[in-house]
Structure 1
């Protein structure tokens, strides 16, 4: 069950950062080139991780990634479209605790992003069996090995199939060469919070936020053949996203009115 795997993975959420693991028989340049199609993918430098722009002022990521700086959002370093963006606040899903599936957080940017188009959130329920495009930044390595290449912080995109689907989460199984997609990629610790997309009529839609990798093979190398990349299922949390962003906007507007009246 994904529920059991999530608890195990999130308990190790502070593992050292690494990044996308690639097929041993594919050129790194192919993964780098593929990433240019997904500009809404966001790089977090402090804390290290990933995210995705879902509206001009909102980034969706994993709660366990940003929780350490939740009380001091100004210390966060968020890069969208190659530019650092100032953070105003962080909102963690109220049901999230380590080992729970509601591992989502919203990062509220101080100034709207005008030079990158936000990602569309998928509203369907048919993710099972579809091809997911996962976006990661940082160090890279090869599937079956620990990431070792120094971090260049460039985005890379890998492909895999949604093999397990639960109401609140899904998993991508790491496959051997005969079964794997041409550009199979696997998340590692430094990619947590990064997005998974599917394409509908050639348009990308956000379906997942990466939360960790299950070492199902038990060989001590997370990301080897037989292991699982695990994601929060974004479609299951659309209502919370809409409510949280609307409340923040209303609170901000009320504060602005109050400031005007006090002048």
Structure 2
């Protein structure tokens, strides 16, 4: 990456002894953060009492009409009463007994630093309602959880999982189609209209039991990666400058090392992801929406699910999500259709 990224910032850091304050970089939400453990611990309910904190929601969205998005489901902590405090992720009905969601929703950090999948009894699936309230929809036990084998809890890639229900729902619902690889390539083009749906906290961290929706659009993956790299570089400059000062590295050598670091930085948005948001910012998904669907309206009516809510940007305060973020990243389902078919065929 050209040195033009941060020459002024680096020059300042190379000459000023003290560390600069935080740059305000909105970093990706850590993959190790567990939506399930967050809800189960009661921290979600506790945080909702603090009106001053940013919350997790479909940012910039609106309440969905009752009955809209009939494939949307909610993942709830097993054994907990139906409500916003128990909901920790979203998902979508892709077959009568199969729910599509994000791997990070079902793959949990353990006390010893390892990761393990949730047990089926630790999750219930709420189907057939847009409202998280006792008596609404059909609360269904889980029979099996299937995480993509390449997903690891310390990363964002391959963020996809399937959940098999113990039975078919007994309330009205619909399944949604997913695209094959060829159609997926057509959908993953800049400017394609997308709609993200999910539950979560609204502004001020107040919980909303109502499903929300926001219309956004696919953004060019290369542009999203460029924006992320610039922001990451801005954030990293402070620590780099301090290290250069402490070690007594010559300025010319420092720039050469910096250029090498930038060149080696991995892409944030991989080929397995869709970047979607708005150029003006303020409309995106957030952690309460993890695992939920990103759908695309198709000619002749109807929708197809192109993505799964995977990761977004953290607020610079360290609380909640960056509400002015231009985009979030979504798992590109079309890359995983063979795996989906394999899992479903092997577990009739």
Q: TM-score, structure 1 length as denominator?
A: 0.76
Instruction: Show the counterpart of 2:335.
Output: 236
Distance 1:209 1:66, change over 3 A: same
| Offset of residue 175 of structure 1 | 4.1
Using the alignment, how far apart are the partners of 2:324 and 2:278 within structure 1? 5
Asked if 1:20 corresponds to 2:43, the answer is no
Question: After TM superposition, what 4+ stretches of structure 1 lie above 4 angstroms from structure 2?
Answer: 15-18, 217-221
Aligned to 1:136: 198
Q: 2:121 corresponds to which residue?
A: 74
Higher helix fraction (1 or 2):
2
CA–CA distance in structure 2, aligned partners of residues 237 and 35 of structure 1? 31
Deviation by residue 1:29-87 (Cα, 9 ceiling, x = unmatched): xx223574311011112261101110001001011111238352122121010210110
1:35/1:101 CA distance change after superposition, 3 Å: farther
Secondary structure of the structure 2 residue equivalent to 1:86: strand
Q: Distance in 2 between matches of 1:35 and 1:132?
A: 20
What is aligned with 2:322?
223
TM-aligned CA deviation for residue 10 of structure 1 = 4.3
In the alignment, structure 2 segments of 5+ residues that lack a partner are 1-26, 39-43, 45-54, 78-86, 109-115, 129-136, 222-269
What does 1:180-199 align with in structure 2 at a 5 Å threshold? 185-199=283-297
Q: Does the 8 Å contact 1:213/1:227 carry over to 2? A: no
Q: Which deviations, in whole Å up to 9, do the C-alpha atoms of 1:84-131 show, x marking residues without a partner?
A: 011001000010002141011100001123631111112311122211
- Counterparts of 1:119-130 in structure 2, within 5 Å, are 119-123=176-180, 124=183, 125-127=185-187, 128=189, 129-130=191-192
Within 5 Å, which residues of 2 pair with 1:1-263? Answer: 8-14=28-34, 18-23=55-60, 31-34=62-65, 36-46=67-77, 48-68=88-108, 70-81=117-128, 82-98=137-153, 99-113=155-169, 115-123=172-180, 124=183, 125-127=185-187, 128=189, 129-141=191-203, 147-152=204-209, 154-165=210-221, 167-176=271-280, 185-201=283-299, 202-215=301-314, 222-249=321-348
Moved more, 9-18 or 59-68: 9-18
Inter-CA distance 12–173: structure 2 relative to 1 (3 Å threshold) = farther
CA contact (8 A) 1:207 1:234 kept: yes
- Report the aligned-residue RMSD: 2.6
Unaligned runs of 5+ in 1: 1-6, 142-146, 250-263
Higher strand content, 1 or 2: 1
Tell me how many residue pairs correspond in the alignment: 224
- After superposition, give the CA deviation of every residue in 1:181-238 in whole Å (9 maximum; x if it has no partner): xxx74222111111100011221100100112125x9575633324421100011111
TM-score (norm 2): 0.58
Instruction: State how far apart, in whole Å, the 2-side matches of 1:118 and 1:173 are.
Output: 25
Query: Does structure 2 retain, via aligned residues, the 8 Å contact 1:134–1:185?
Result: no
Partners of 1:13 and 1:211 in 2: CA distance: 12
CA distance in 1, matches of 2:59, 2:156: 28
Q: Distance in 2 between matches of 1:138 and 1:65?
A: 14
Based on CA coordinates, which of the two structures has the bigger radius of gyration?
A: 2
